[in-house]
Amino acid sequence: MRAVAAAAMLLALSGCATFSKDGGLDAVSTLTAERTGQDVRLPRTNADSAAIQDELNQLLKQPLSADSAVRVALINNRGLRASLAELGVAEADLVQAGRMANPGFSFSRMSGGGETEIERSVMFDLVGLVTIPIRRDIESRRFESAKLVAANEAVRLAADTRKAYFNAVAAVQSARYAEQVREAAGASAELAQRMAKVGNLSALDQAREQAFSSEASTQLARARHSATAAREQLARLMGVWGENTAFQLPDKLPELPAVPREAGNIESLAMQQRLDVRLAKLGTESTARALGLTKATGVINVLDAGYVNSSKSGAPRENGYEIELALPIFDWGGARVAKAEALYMQSVHRTADTAINARSQVREAYSAYRTNYDVARQHRDQLVPLRKKISEESLLRYNGMLLSVFELLADARAQIAGVNAAIDAQREFWIAETDLQAAISGSGGAGSAISMASTAAPAEAAAEH
């Protein structure tokens, strides 16, 4: 029995898992870089923190682009760092699954009639030893799932940051044009007041101009707040505070691409790249593996063996072994196996549902992308030039005394409103482009997220062995 116990200990120790050097972060960084063009970094030492801070300072010194804003978020957002900590939890479970349970030691001493009996025993969990490879495989898949979840958090953060960036830049542009509207309305109201004093304008027309001027001031106040709110949303996602909130934004949104992206094989790409689809498949595999473990331990799930030593007063020491076995009298494990099978089928259906939804979401995202591209291009190529031409023709007629000053101001206001509509259309395109990329590579958009819930079933099934 000593030899058996020693062999068991050696087997358990040889199968122990160890912690990796990167803690799974390299895989997360690779998955994120493939989908966003930016890797993920997590400071582990003071030198790492200093390097990240230097990079952050360099990025914030220049006017931000969408890519640089995403970079700041991926290296500085504390919420993402908190999500990456889940990697350590999953890896710790993996290491723990590769280690045999500690042996149990018992000691008893009985005395009476002038005699003393002492019994000592050391017990080992043999079932736990035999199932170490299966449990390690299950926890290894959970660790892989944790990597996918962390990568999805990073991809989602990148998409949210890009959308917040476009919203912030567009809000600044809209506020600038709202200020021009207010100036035009103020000039019109002042002129109307002067003309009313000399009797060249009715009280009704003067009231209309004054009302429009007040409305323009209200719209400007709202536009300025919207710009502030959009900027703060971007600041939160980038994780900046204090003096770092003074980052610079460009004056206008990026230009539209020369040609839109073709649909091509976006559904196939989504099936290959989407992280929620990959996680669902991995969850199904893990559940199937856990079902095998449940069936293997369905009848005998407690089997302990160990070395026993007993000594009595006046008698030689006795050595032997002891086996403890749970008798399957009342519970043959059928309920556990049935539960594991139900969990497996649930995982299969959930995976199919995820794939169907992914295909639908990517088709919808492309429709929004193409529609917003066409609308933005129409504003840029037709509506804005037409508004400009109308304003120029109105000015010529005003100079020829064929048009009143109020009609001229009304045309100017309409032109500014058209430019604002063009800004909104351009912003909507870039947001739709971000959503399309998220639908192909992430998990269906910035608002959705995946979690470890899909891998909870294999863990639950395995825990009952």
Residue 366 in this model has a pLDDT that exceeds 90: yes
3-state secondary structure the chain: CHHHHHHHHHHHHHCCCCCCCCCCHHHHHHHHHHHHCCCCCCCCCHHHHHHHHHHHHHHHHCCCCHHHHHHHHHHHCHHHHHHHHHHHHHHHHHHHHCCCCCCEEEEEEEEECCEEEEEEEEEEEHHHHHCHHHHHHHHHHHHHHHHHHHHHHHHHHHHHHHHHHHHHHHHHHHHHHHHHHHHHHHHHHHHHHHHHHCCCCCHHHHHHHHHHHHHHHHHHHHHHHHHHHHHHHHHHHHCCCHHHHHCCCCCCCCCCCCCCCCCCCHHHHHHHHCHHHHHHHHHHHHHHHHHHHHHHCCCCCCEEEEEEEEEECCCCCEEEEEEEECCCCCCCCHHHHHHHHHHHHHHHHHHHHHHHHHHHHHHHHHHHHHHHHHHHHHHHHHHHHHHHHHHHHHHHHHHCCCCCHHHHHHHHHHHHHHHHHHHHHHHHHHHHHHHHHHHHHCCCCCCCCCCHHHHHHHHHHHHCC
Confidence class for position 464, pLDDT limits 50, 70, 90: very low
Token couple for 84: 């990456």
Residue 389 is predicted with a pLDDT of: 76
421-460 pLDDT per residue, tens: 888 899 999 999 999 999 998 766 544 445 544 444 444 4
pLDDT value at 137 more than 70? yes
More reliable by pLDDT, 395 or 238: 238
The pLDDT value given to residue 48: 84
Domains of the chain listed by start with CATH number = 18-254+300-332 (1.20.1600.10), 255-298+336-445 (1.20.1600.10)
pLDDT in tens, 399-413: 556 556 566 566 666
22-34 pLDDT per residue, tens:
778 888 889 899 8
Q: Does position 65 have pLDDT exceeding 90, yes or no?
A: yes
What is residue 10's predicted lDDT score, i.e. its pLDDT? 47
Instruction: Choose the weakest-confidence range: 49-53, 351-355, 416-420.
Output: 416-420
pLDDT for residue 364: 92
Nearest 5 degrees, angle CA 255-CA 40-CA 439?
Answer: 55
Output 361 or 442, whichever has higher pLDDT: 361
Q: Confidence band (pLDDT; 50, 70, 90) for 163? A: very high
Top-ranked range on mean pLDDT: pick from 220-234, 262-276, 280-294? 220-234
Which long-range CB contacts under 8 A does 1-7 form with residues at least 24 apart? 1/306, 1/307, 1/319, 1/320, 1/321, 2/307, 4/305, 5/122, 5/124, 5/306, 5/307
Residue 374's pLDDT band (boundaries 50, 70, 90)?
very high
pLDDT confidence tier of residue 284, bands split at 50, 70 and 90? confident
4-56 pLDDT, tens digit each? 455 455 454 445 567 777 778 888 889 899 888 888 888 888 888 899 899 99
Average pLDDT, the chain: 77
Instruction: Report how far residue 337's alpha carbon sits from residue 76's, in angstroms, rounded to the nearest whole number.
Output: 46
Whole-angstrom distance, CA of residue 407 vs CA of residue 206: 14
More confident residue, 119 or 424: 424
Q: Residue 185 is which amino acid? A: A
**Model pLDDT, residue 114:** 67
Dihedral, CA of residue 333, residue 339, residue 342 and residue 346, to nearest 10: -140
User: Residue 251 above 60 pLDDT?
Assistant: yes
